[in-house]
Structure 1
Amino acid sequence: MLRARPLDPVGRAFRTARTLPAPVRLILVSMILFNIGFYLVVPFLAVHLAQDLHLAGWAIGLVLGLRTFSQQGMFFVGGSLADRFGVRPMVLLGIAIRVVGFVVLGVASTLAAMIVGVVLVGLAAALFAPAVEAANAAYGRGLEEAGVIRRTELFGIEQMCSRLGTVVGPALGALLLGVPFEWTAVSAAVLFAGLGVMFARWLPADASTSHDRAGSSSLHEVWRSVLANRGFLVFVALCGVQLLAYNQLYLMLPEQLERATGSQAALGWFFTGSAVLVIVGQAPMVALANRLGHRAAITLGMATIAASFVFPVVAPGPAGLASWVVALHLGQMLMVPPMRDTIGVLAGERNLGSHFGMLNTVGGMLTLLGSLGVGVLYDGVDDGNLSAAAPWWTLAAVVAAAAVGIWWWMSRARVSRSMSG
């Protein structure tokens, strides 16, 4: 049994990463570059839709929701394909589709074309992201069994690498606000093309989500292993609410910045600041989660996310928005590593791609419905039929209900390793 490590500084976490096996290091580096490309475009998509294409609030919510649904909503299919056929082909195919999707977004001038672009961008991630995440989870299990590092710590380092990419991506995006959107989108496409070359050259041909099982089960068997796991399905339905909450950064943050300051110029710096927070704070939050145990950490993290939506109500303006973003990320930093570890346990460490994919599929469906709902609420605010606080109280109530549900479910479920942390 690995003992919990003391609060690790950022330097120690990245020094640990350098000692890990080469495939794990490749995955961690790709997390940085994936997010640079993603955050060059997606956080500024709402700005482009509103200011350049002049779309209504419901249409912007639809486009953003479809982007998340086509990505997260199709994770189950993408993860299942990785379980069946292996990680490498799914990663390379997904990256190729992402390149095409960003080019389409760059040249699109109508709502229909934007929908095609965001669906391609999302579908691409549904192919490569669950494959990469599940492979890392499988490697993490082996490293933990060998006494090298806890899997929750590896997940924490993964989050830090992802956020390092989000430091650079939004900063570049903010600097490029004056540049035509199409050039930013094409730049992201070029970056992903480079990532495709990296994976083609350095990802092991036998990389798989469960090393000894890739290609050994039919898709029907893979799907049955997930859909028959009722306890797992309840858990991911509750945890999927955090994805709905997090994705409001792409809809509610631009909207509120415009209302509070008359400009969205600070948008990139909000994402950059939150990324720095995760880089600095993720390792201590993983250590705290290990001390609390998985049930308490996941529940407290979700409750913190719920509370974050109250800050813009009680403190309108940039200060309230900053408090929301900080608390939202603190909640995610606390709950996500133990949540992902619990999913591995509930999956029996088998067919990890499809199990992790189901989490994102459920979250994507919730995000699509939630984004449409929030868009409608904002239209009601603009029409004078609702108060400006209505979208925030609604999200706070939904996430709080999920936190209660998680505590209730985990208090009754028999997942001894995930309970104790």
Structure 2
Amino acid sequence: MAEPAPGAPGLRAALLPLTGPLRFLLLSSFLIPLGSFMVLPFMSVFLHERLGMGLGTVGVVLAAASLVQFSGGLFGGALADRVGLRRTMLWALTVRTAGFLGLLLALRWPSLAVGALVLTCCGAALYLPANKAYLVHGVDDERRPAFLSAGNAALNAGMAVGPLIAGPFVLSAPGWLFASATGLFLAVTVGHARLPDAGGGAPSDEDAPRPGILAGVVALPFAANALAFYLYFHFQHFLAVYAVERASGTFYSLVLLLCFALVIVVQPLASGLIRRMPYGLALTLGFLGMAAGLAVLAAGTRTAILAGAALITLGDIVLFLKNDLEALRRSPRSDAVVFGQQRLAAGLGACASGVLGGQLYGFGERVGNTGSFWLLAAAQCLLLPPVLLTLRRRAARHPRHDDHEGALTPR
């Protein structure tokens, strides 16, 4: 195993000392997606099979919920900046607990289902920016990647385990499932009430103008994050249909487990290297990895699907972490606001992918060649990033007077 570069702390050293509140927050970063993914991945089945919604309606509901969950992070960051990180997390978890309780009640009153789902997504939108900002509060720049990647690893572990626990009970015992998720969120909320305050919510002069929630957006990390999520969600949205058609639902679950395992293991170990990597190199490697993975998927065999999913995940490990780190480094705003802005970028990219990608995949299905969908997505991975970097260089040569210093400076 390679030794850490001089002056770069190893993963274990970077995370120590780990205080009680941070240990609880990392545990919560596992438990919250565990509870969520006991329910949310199966919502299309639940809404259609159990509540009788048409698939068209289900699709619209899930698309709207996803947009709220991602893009609402912008408001979550702004709220944390105003009222504090701990208080924002408490409010978010209260909203999300109410959402899961609403899903439980929807078994008796189905009309509550859509509102309950939206509540859970609103809670997620409010929570994540404050959670990430709390994790890195007071942590120096060299150690931040380790804390962020540890949080991401816990998140992905919960996302991997949740569906495995819940799968047998989604249709046979949804009441037990929703009650368990509600109880889990209630317990986590009580635990958050005992956390010490950390950052945000500083008193302000009422007469002083407050910066808007989009003020201080760093153009390149924001645009690169939107583009990365746009391309990644071609994979996220449409792999299920592609893989199940060629293999089985069980095989698709194994592919997801592989992706989660890679994030859990690789990102924390590579976090220091990703931090030190020049931004242009990180973008190049990340998008090349995605392009290779998407192109491999076009072969359509089980081996190709596994290999393609692994390559895409490795590319995203670099892109998603580096974009957040670069936005934090360059922005004058608080960490919570920066994370909220990056979530907005993710939501815009995911939404665009669903709209455009759905049309392209549907066209490929109609002409009997869905493999071409993945080749077209791979081509976009190669063609769109150079356009982004060209715009970056032009912006660096002609900076606006109100740009934050260094925000568009090439590295």
Report matched runs for 1:131-170 at 5 Å: 131-141=130-140, 144=141, 150-170=143-163
Higher relative CO (Cα under 8 Å, sequence separation at least 6) belongs to 1
Q: State the partner residue of 1:88.
A: 86
- How far did residue 120 of structure 1 move? 1.4
8 Å Cα contact 1:305-1:332 kept in structure 2:
yes
Q: State the partner residue of 2:348.
A: 365
Work out which of the two has the higher radius of gyration on C-alpha atoms and give 1 or 2: 2
Shifted more, 131-140 versus 43-52: the winner is 43-52
Shifted more, 127-136 versus 388-397: the winner is 388-397
Q: State the partner residue of 1:68.
A: 66
Q: State the partner residue of 1:387.
A: 369
Query: Are positions 1:229 and 2:216 aligned together?
Result: yes
- How far did residue 392 of structure 1 move? 2.5
Q: Hey, what's the Cα distance between the residues in 2 that align with 1:333 and 1:385?
A: 34
Q: Hey, what's the Cα distance between the residues in 2 that align with 1:416 and 1:380?
A: 40
Partner SS state of residue 139, structure 2: helix
One of 309, 329, 335 as aligned partner of 1:345: 329
Instruction: Report the identity percentage.
Output: 23
Q: State the partner residue of 1:41.
A: 39
Post-superposition CA distance 1:18-40 (Å, at most 9, x none): 52233333322221112212222
List alignment gaps of at least 5 residues for structure 1. Answer: none
8 Å Cα contact 1:30-1:195 kept in structure 2:
yes
Q: Hey, what's the Cα distance between the residues in 2 that align with 1:112 and 1:377?
A: 33
8 Å Cα contact 1:57-1:379 kept in structure 2:
no
Partner SS state of residue 227, structure 1: coil
Change (3 A) 1:112 1:255: farther
Which letter does structure 2 place at the counterpart of 1:265? Answer: T
8 Å Cα contact 2:219-2:407 kept in structure 1:
no
Report matched runs for 1:97-176 at 5 Å: 97-106=95-104, 108=106, 114-141=113-140, 144=141, 150-176=143-169
Q: Hey, what's the Cα distance between the residues in 2 that align with 1:35 and 1:65?
A: 19
Q: Hey, what's the Cα distance between the residues in 2 that align with 1:375 and 1:52?
A: 25
Query: Are positions 1:396 and 2:372 aligned together?
Result: no
8 Å Cα contact 1:62-1:371 kept in structure 2:
no
Q: Hey, what's the Cα distance between the residues in 1 that align with 2:99 and 2:227?
A: 27
Partner SS state of residue 240, structure 1: helix
Which letter does structure 2 place at the counterpart of 1:139? Answer: G
Post-superposition CA distance 1:133-159 (Å, at most 9, x none): 122233333xx4xxxx52222222222
8 Å Cα contact 1:67-1:118 kept in structure 2:
yes
- How far did residue 255 of structure 1 move? 1.5
Give the alignment's Cα RMSD to 1 decimal. 3.4
Change (3 A) 1:118 1:74: same
Post-superposition CA distance 1:189-234 (Å, at most 9, x none): 2211111011012x11x3224xxx634376995543x53436x134
Change (3 A) 1:286 1:35: same
Q: How many residues align?
A: 397
Post-superposition CA distance 1:56-84 (Å, at most 9, x none): 66544433322221111111111101101
- How far did residue 264 of structure 1 move? 2.1
Post-superposition CA distance 1:69-108 (Å, at most 9, x none): 1111111111101101111221111111112223334555
